[in-house]
């Protein structure tokens, strides 16, 4: 048996002898080009029998997501980003340093995700990859976020045409930065 291929309908040419197989994968194709493929085999009498040609266009993995942002909250960080065209989902990575990020979630074709259960006052780095059936993108630019506890000891003191708020802030360093 053999596999045949053409980049235009008709004009099929032999690309491989494959023997008896059920699945054939051609990895030497150009992204975005439509290919027509068929198999050609022999029956008991030795005559050639060709299958009807089918068409397919190989696609590329999506581009990396852009504009990753992080908003820190109480023991959580909410991420948002610009979706990548051709993506079907995203892979979220988190860690305590840029070189030490591990996958924490796979999400669908969304542009926001909240990671919870974090330690207030500890910095976390986060990046994401876009995914589709053809692979994964490079990772996005990482961002750093530091979850913060809500203010405590909030008290309001009424005054003449004003209210004065007094509170205690637990953590006062910047909560979010690009890395």
| Residue the block writes with tokens 């590329």 | 60
- For the stretch 97-108, pLDDT in tens is 998 999 999 999
Among 51, 54, 50, CA closest to 26: 54
| Residue the block writes with tokens 């045409």 | 161
pLDDT < 50 stretches in the chain:
172-175, 177-179
pTM score = 0.62
- The whole-number pLDDT of residue 88 equals 95
Q: How far is CA 118 from CA 73, 145, 148, 149, 178, in A?
A: 10, 11, 10, 11, 19
- The whole-number pLDDT of residue 39 equals 66
């Amino acid at each position: 048996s053999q596999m045949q291929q053409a980049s235009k309908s008709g004009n099929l040419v032999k690309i491989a002898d494959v023997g008896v197989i059920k699945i054939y994968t051609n990895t030497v194709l150009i992204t975005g080009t439509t290919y027509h493929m068929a198999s050609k085999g022999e029956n008991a009498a030795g005559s050639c029998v060709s299958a009807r040609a089918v068409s397919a266009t190989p696609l590329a993995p999506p581009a990396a997501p852009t504009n990753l942002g992080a908003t820190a909250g109480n023991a959580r960080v909410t991420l948002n980003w610009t979706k990548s065209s051709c993506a079907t989902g995203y892979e979220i990575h988190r860690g305590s340093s840029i070189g030490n990020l591990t996958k924490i979630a796979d999400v669908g074709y969304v542009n926001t995700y909240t990671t919870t259960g974090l330690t207030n006052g500890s910095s976390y780095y986060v990046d994401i990859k876009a995914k589709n059936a053809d692979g994964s993108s490079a990772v996005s630019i990482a961002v750093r976020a530091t979850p913060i506890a809500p203010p405590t000891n909030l008290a309001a003191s009424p005054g003449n045409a004003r209210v004065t708020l007094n509170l205690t802030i637990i953590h006062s360093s910047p909560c979010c930065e690009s890395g």
